[in-house]
Amino acid sequence: GGAGGVRPCHNSPRRLAHLAKPQRGARQTEMKAGLLQILYANPFSGLPHEDPYNHLVKFYEIASSLGATETEEETVFMRMFPHSLIGAAKD
C-alpha cells in the first residue's frame, strides 16, 4: 500500500505501527479530541536529546488507531502530524 505503490521498509515506524492497527471494521477516521490530547502529550520539538525515529513510531501508533483505510491513511496522517510538533520542529 501507500502512495504510488511504495511499500515502507520492514523496520520503518509506519510499518511497525500497522502491527497495532485496529480491525478494518473499527473505522473512526475523524480526529477525536482524545487522540489529539495524546499527540499533544507526545510532542517532538527537534531538540538534540529527542529521537525523531521514536517520535514517528509513537505518531504512527496513535494515528493508526483511527482505523482509516489504506486510501484514507495518508490524508489522516498529513492532517494529524502537525499536531505532534512543537517549537522549532513546527516552524
The whole-number pLDDT of residue 15 equals 55
Establish if 1 belongs to a structural domain. no
Rg value, the chain, Cα: 13
Cα gap 76→61, rounded to integer Å: 13
* Alpha helix positions (H), 9-83: 13-18, 33-41, 52-64, 70-80
**Number of domains making up the chain:** 1
* Domain presence at residue 33: yes
- Please list the pLDDT of the chain residue by residue as tens digits (91 residues): 455 555 555 556 665 555 445 555 544 445 578 888 898 999 999 999 999 999 999 999 888 888 888 888 888 899 899 999 999 998 8
SS3 state of residue 82: helix
What is the residue range of 57's domain?
11-89
CB 79 within 8 A of CB 29: no
Residue 3 lies in a domain: no
Give the number of C-alpha atoms closer than 13 A to the C-alpha of residue 11, restricted to the C-beta side: 2
